[in-house]
Chains A and B, each alone.
Chain A
């Protein structure tokens, strides 16, 4: 009997120990996640020439002496290959020197940005400035109400004249940089021109040449070309990028930017038809789209395993020439094609009839991500705002977009061009260089793709992007902000709708469900409250138009 008892003691010990070990792992992981790095402090900048601009913010800021701001920003994975913190970035060091403001960076751990953002907010200890401030649940306007972010309206007018002027330069920009209730809760990076569309259908040139067909224009052409691919032994004529799991073709039967769907003149989710908001997957046109996809799937033109194939599997199909066309970002398509040694061409977004114009595409809005909020913990908000204004001055614009003149770029025929420090640096790959020698995100007047060394190095890809950018975007809703209450109710409805819809749409495409049941599918989604959710989007869109 004694032996048995000892055995139980041991058993209990083992079990509780494994519990302990499991939990400890978790706790230590939580503690060591954020790494705080002190910005390297450039030598006294008192002797640097003080540049004053028209409205009077003079850099370096005289009042900034002795002030160090804490700055929360994600360290991009590409940047992390060459730096442990932006404190090591040449461009950020120059920024601190030029503005006279010292920054102490706080970087969330890679891949845990949302979690760590929420933990930071929950802890009640905010840094002075937060980049990607939209992460706040229910949006930045709510953060102002909750007393986390500062309302910046007056501060911007007074201390950020260059940003103020830029954000009032057009209606679009003005609407995109202010909340529904008139509060400005962050400073957005603003594009200086339309950023080219980066996503669309690319085609393996070799495979297309074998069929002798032209680049497809209409959906009908696409069917013919894909059938010809199949006849030429291409196993899965067209594949879709499954990267973004929730919106991808693999998960929802609609490709990420609705490229095939937009030929039918509907958007992949909520979209606008004039000033009216509608939900794409319940429109009658969506049934036509499903019929085409169903036919493609039945004929084997689409990968029969598409719901389960991951990004590596799909890329392998493309690089091994088992797929002829790929809906993907043009930059990754080129790097794959170069690696595999074949040439690429691209089709314009497909349409129904020759001469139609697509009104939905991959698009960046003028106010982009990388927005910065000043928190209530900041003791010198006026200096913080003056600092944030720098990226909108002529000098700051060049520093953010191209880095330091003579070092990372030179002027050629009045145009900036990156030097080999950025483009051919033996120690820093080009993808990382754009984070080290210039500032990719952050508050500034953004040149977008035209200041991205990686994109500029590929003029062929740039041409494709510019072709896709010719498409319209009349169906696209601008970035809207729902109120906390609306957001919560809409999320409840949409979570159910998306789950049901994804399941049903895949069944339609794969032939497991008769297409005649489309009406009952629409009714089911209506029963789940799609009209209510559309109403919230409509209300938000109306407020946007009134801004």
Chain B
């Protein structure tokens, strides 16, 4: 049977399902697939008045200009390092938090902790960055504390060696609570008879955690890790441009902040599109290889 015929029959039988799915499909086509054709401006000299199709082709000019740029290796390195550190330190924290919260038996205490840990997620990034800069300035809270112990005051945001730590740790502070929700949901889905059986077999709390909870949420962890790896090169420009200054460019300047300076401040759309495309291709490669790796060594994968 031809695929068209199959589809037609399926639509006939499940027409309401298709009607429900229609808006989502339309959404993806209109907002996710149609705009992809705009990527061609990476290979053109885009001029708004000529439009996407009318602009002149220039081939790989913008890519070559990016790789010839004196900053390109530095910003690629910074982007990769921030991405890797973010996964290395930022990914396990919500899992740990969820596991710890799960062990807390005091209902009210648990709720208070959860709420407090979610709160930073709802604060605007602009405010967060303002807080970070204020706290780390040479007359800020952190330096006030350090000076008590005789450590000389200095503005942390002017010390390149500290930027990555500050960026990652503030990110963890902001997102760990929110990120733990999904793991708590996964933990809640574990069959309680498993625990009962383990208790009968004499397993203590820690052993239950290690042998039941962790393995049961492993598929969730794997899926989220794969998705996260797909964004390894996506270091948000908003936070970077709100935090950085020329004294710490050497560790803080990343691809997206570079694209921002080029694309939005100087309207160099094509160049930005080229760099953005490069960034996305790397992300795509990470996503696909992580998925393949996971399929090979564990049961869960995205496809």
Query: CB within 8 Å of B: which residues of A?
Result: 3-4, 7-8, 10-11, 14-16, 20, 23, 27, 114, 118, 121-122, 124, 137, 143, 146-148, 246, 250-252, 304-305, 307-310, 313, 488, 491-492, 495-496, 499-500, 502-503, 505-507, 510, 512, 528
B207 part of interface (Cβ distance < 8 Å): no
B278 part of interface (Cβ distance < 8 Å): no
Residues of A contacting B266 in the complex (Cβ-Cβ under 8 angstroms): 491, 495
Q: List 24 A-B contacts (CB under 8 A).
A: A3-B191, A7-B186, A7-B189, A8-B219, A8-B223, A14-B182, A15-B227, A122-B49, A246-B265, A304-B138, A308-B133, A308-B155, A308-B157, A308-B245, A309-B137, A491-B266, A491-B268, A495-B261, A499-B71, A499-B249, A503-B249, A506-B246, A507-B247, A512-B247
Residue of B31, B48, B137, B139 touching A27 (CB-CB under 8 A): B31
B70 part of interface (Cβ distance < 8 Å): yes
Closest 4 CB pairs of A and B: A502-B246, A122-B48, A146-B49, A307-B245
Residues of A contacting B24 in the complex (Cβ-Cβ under 8 angstroms): 16
Residues of A contacting B157 in the complex (Cβ-Cβ under 8 angstroms): 307-308
Which partner residue on chain B sits nearest A484 by CB separation? B47
**Per-position binary interface string of chain B over residues 27-58, scored 1 when its CB falls under 8 Å from any chain A CB and 0 otherwise:** 10001000000000000000111110000000
Report whether B219 and A146 are in contact in the complex, using a CB–CB cutoff of 8 Å.
no
How far does the Cβ of A375 sit from chain B's closest Cβ, in whole Å? Answer: 11
Residue of B51, B65, B262, B265 touching A122 (CB-CB under 8 A): B51
Report whether B189 and A503 are in contact in the complex, using a CB–CB cutoff of 8 Å.
no
Residues of B contacting A121 in the complex (Cβ-Cβ under 8 angstroms): 48-49
Q: How far is the CA of A8 from the CA of B219 in the complex (A)?
A: 9
Residues of A contacting B265 in the complex (Cβ-Cβ under 8 angstroms): 246
B80 part of interface (Cβ distance < 8 Å): no
How far does the Cβ of B65 sit from chain A's closest Cβ, in whole Å? Answer: 7
Residues of B contacting A20 in the complex (Cβ-Cβ under 8 angstroms): 27
- By the criterion of a CB under 8 Å from any partner CB, how many residues of chain B are at the interface? 41
Residues of B contacting A507 in the complex (Cβ-Cβ under 8 angstroms): 247
Report whether A500 and B220 are in contact in the complex, using a CB–CB cutoff of 8 Å.
no
Q: How far is the CA of A16 from the CA of B189 in the complex (A)?
A: 21
Which partner residue on chain B sits nearest A253 by CB separation? B246
Q: How far is the CA of A500 from the CA of B182 in the complex (A)?
A: 43
Pick from B24, B155, B185, B246 the residue with the most CB of A within 10 Å: B246
Residues of B contacting A114 in the complex (Cβ-Cβ under 8 angstroms): 267
B225 part of interface (Cβ distance < 8 Å): no
B158 part of interface (Cβ distance < 8 Å): yes
Residue of B70, B130, B158 touching A305 (CB-CB under 8 A): B158
Task: Given A251-B245, A307-B158, A510-B247, check contact A496 B70 (CB 8 Å).
Answer: yes
Which partner residue on chain A sits nearest B250 by CB separation? A503
B69 part of interface (Cβ distance < 8 Å): yes
Q: How far is the CA of A491 from the CA of B70 in the complex (A)?
A: 15
Task: Given A11-B220, A23-B31, A495-B261, check contact A3 B189 (CB 8 Å).
Answer: yes
Residues of B contacting A313 in the complex (Cβ-Cβ under 8 angstroms): 137
Residues of B contacting A499 in the complex (Cβ-Cβ under 8 angstroms): 71, 246, 249, 253, 261
How far does the Cβ of B221 sit from chain A's closest Cβ, in whole Å? Answer: 12
Q: How far is the CA of A313 from the CA of B157 in the complex (A)?
A: 15
Residue of A14, A246, A308 touching B158 (CB-CB under 8 A): A308
Q: How far is the CA of A495 from the CA of B65 in the complex (A)?
A: 13
Task: Given A11-B182, A305-B138, check contact A4 B133 (CB 8 Å).
Answer: no
Which partner residue on chain B sits nearest A122 by CB separation? B48
Pick from A4, A27, A114, A496 the residue with the most CB of B within 10 Å: A4
How far does the Cβ of A163 sit from chain B's closest Cβ, in whole Å? Answer: 27
A15-B227, A27-B31, A146-B50 known, 19 other contacts, Cβ within 8 Å:
A7-B189, A7-B220, A8-B219, A16-B24, A122-B48, A137-B267, A143-B49, A146-B49, A304-B155, A305-B139, A307-B157, A307-B247, A310-B133, A313-B137, A488-B268, A491-B268, A496-B70, A507-B247, A512-B247
Residues of B contacting A510 in the complex (Cβ-Cβ under 8 angstroms): 158, 247
Q: How far is the CA of A4 from the CA of B265 in the complex (A)?
A: 48
Report whether B247 and A506 are in contact in the complex, using a CB–CB cutoff of 8 Å.
yes
Q: How far is the CA of A236 from the CA of B127 in the complex (A)?
A: 26
How far does the Cβ of A235 sit from chain B's closest Cβ, in whole Å? Answer: 9
Residue of B155, B250, B267 touching A118 (CB-CB under 8 A): B267
Residues of A contacting B191 in the complex (Cβ-Cβ under 8 angstroms): 3
Residues of A contacting B262 in the complex (Cβ-Cβ under 8 angstroms): 495
How far does the Cβ of A489 sit from chain B's closest Cβ, in whole Å? Answer: 11
Residues of B contacting A500 in the complex (Cβ-Cβ under 8 angstroms): 70
Report whether B71 and A4 are in contact in the complex, using a CB–CB cutoff of 8 Å.
no
Task: Given A305-B138, A500-B70, check contact A148 B261 (CB 8 Å).
Answer: no
Report whether A308 and B189 are in contact in the complex, using a CB–CB cutoff of 8 Å.
no
Which partner residue on chain A sits nearest B219 by CB separation? A4
Residues of A contacting B250 in the complex (Cβ-Cβ under 8 angstroms): 503
Q: How far is the CA of A505 from the CA of B247 in the complex (A)?
A: 9
Residues of A contacting B182 in the complex (Cβ-Cβ under 8 angstroms): 11, 14
How far does the Cβ of A449 sit from chain B's closest Cβ, in whole Å? Answer: 30
How far does the Cβ of B95 sit from chain A's closest Cβ, in whole Å? Answer: 15
Which partner residue on chain B sits nearest A126 by CB separation? B49
Q: How far is the CA of A14 from the CA of B133 in the complex (A)?
A: 33
How far does the Cβ of A38 sit from chain B's closest Cβ, in whole Å? Answer: 27
Q: How far is the CA of A124 from the CA of B52 in the complex (A)?
A: 13
Q: How far is the CA of A528 from the CA of B189 in the complex (A)?
A: 59
**Per-position binary interface string of chain B over residues 163-207, scored 1 when its CB falls under 8 Å from any chain A CB and 0 otherwise:** 000000000000000000010011001010000000000000000
Residues of B contacting A503 in the complex (Cβ-Cβ under 8 angstroms): 246-247, 249-250
Which partner residue on chain B sits nearest A6 by CB separation? B189
Which partner residue on chain B sits nearest A119 by CB separation? B48
